[in-house]
Amino acid sequence: MFQLLETFVHIVEQETLVKAAATMHLTQPTVSRHVQQLEQQCGMPLFDRIGKKLVLNRAGELVYRYAKRHLALAEKMRDELNSFTDPEVGNVYLGAGLTPSIYLLPPLLALFREQHPGVTFYVRTGSSKETLDALMQREVDVGIVTTFQDQEGELLGTPLLEDDLLLVAAPTHPLAERGSVTLEEAVQYPFVLMKQGSGLRKMLADITAERDLPLTIAMETDSLESISRLVQHGVGISCLPRSSAMDDVGQGRLRVIQLEDAQLGARTITLAMRKDSIIPACAAQFCTYLRQWFASKDRRPK
């Protein structure tokens, strides 16, 4: 059927059997046979034959419209299939947690695009759970998350970076003058934290719960950038990943407070992929680039 439709479209656009046959490098009898076979499959004539001239009738106009769509889709399919073998062209559907998408990926994506301009990225941001769900539903090719959980055993996780957590305060905060405190001293002050259910919130809650130390919540939000700004304005202190905090620390907008008797821990930035899935060559090349970039040396912001 595909070859018959292709011949039919060439006849319509070239206007004669002779020109269509020349364009397709076929004999005229072969082109005539294709038309007859297509008309038989459609169950009606597609041309009105006026002498030696073929004039497209209303049925033929309908078939022509659908044939054009069919051929266009087939060409699009071939182009997308080519992206599975050509690493320099194609689309990468990337899911990323909030921390990676805002603080880690922008410079990496810029560098990769500079080296591979034929690759287009479609980045979908969300929580780690939302990103892993999108990966399982095949809505993204790869995911970069801060909390990797594979309850069904269908994902492969590759650790990229240990992003340690920091206790931060505004430079004018009383703790900033001291530089180091105990955990019990720190929880005497109100905190600005991520919303309930976030991995970052749970890490701090677990540490304080182990010592039976209550947390006073001044404000909660779903944005690390918002937390940083609120801390800078003195609303409270907070616990932030190094990757999100060090730019503001370097600019003097935040101060890191050392804990004398506790470790806040670290979140592992992880590259997640489906175990049984074939991804485009450009996406596979990007994954290799990520692994090599993070493995080359300590990439934590200084």
Q: What is the pLDDT of residues 10-24, one digit of tens each?
A: 887 887 777 878 888
Residue 216 is encoded by which pair of tokens?
A: 């006073």
Work out the pLDDT band at 151, boundaries 50, 70, 90.
Answer: low
Residue that finishes a domain, picked among 47, 82, 117: 82
> For residue 104, which of 284, 283, 267, 265 has the smallest C-alpha distance?
267
Determine the pLDDT at residue 52.
Answer: 67
Mapped onto helix, strand or coil, the DSSP state of residue 38 is helix
Domain count, the chain: 3
| Residues 275 and 157 placed together within one structural domain of the fold | yes
Residue 301 lies in a domain: no
Q: What Cα–Cα distance (Å) separates residue 35 from each residue in 47, 52, 82, 220?
A: 9, 15, 31, 69
Query: At CB < 8 A and 24+ separation, what contacts does 211-215 make?
Result: 211/183, 211/184, 213/183, 213/184, 213/187, 214/187, 215/187, 215/191
pLDDT digits (tens, 9 = 90+) for 277-298: 788 899 999 999 999 998 885 5
| Residues 174 and 259 placed together within one structural domain of the fold | yes
| Residues 36 and 96 placed together within one structural domain of the fold | no
How many CA atoms, within 13 angstroms, populate the side-chain half-sphere of residue 286?
Answer: 35
Residue that finishes a domain, picked among 82, 105, 131: 82
Residue 136 is encoded by which pair of tokens?
A: 């399982």
Average pLDDT, the chain: 87
In terms of DSSP bridges, do strands 191-194 and 217-221 run parallel, antiparallel, or are they unpaired?
parallel
The residue range of the domain holding 253 is 164-265
Residue 302 lies in a domain: no
| Residues 107 and 41 placed together within one structural domain of the fold | no
pLDDT digits (tens, 9 = 90+) for 237-278: 999 999 999 899 999 999 999 999 988 989 899 999 998 778
pLDDT digits (tens, 9 = 90+) for 18-48: 787 888 888 888 878 887 888 888 888 888 8
| Residues 245 and 115 placed together within one structural domain of the fold | no
Residue that finishes a domain, picked among 33, 49, 82: 82
Determine the pLDDT at residue 3.
Answer: 80
pLDDT digits (tens, 9 = 90+) for 159-188: 999 999 999 999 999 999 887 899 999 999
Q: pTM here?
A: 0.67
Q: Evaluate whether 146 touches 160 at the Cβ level (below 8 Å).
A: no
| Residues 186 and 225 placed together within one structural domain of the fold | yes
Give the other-Cβ count within 10 Å of 130's Cβ: 16
Mapped onto helix, strand or coil, the DSSP state of residue 42 is helix
Give me the CATH number covering residue 246. 3.40.190.10
| Residues 41 and 182 placed together within one structural domain of the fold | no
| Residues 228 and 191 placed together within one structural domain of the fold | yes
Dihedral angle computed from the Cα positions of residues 210, 214, 218 and 223, in that order, rounded to the nearest 10 degrees: 10
| Residues 77 and 94 placed together within one structural domain of the fold | no
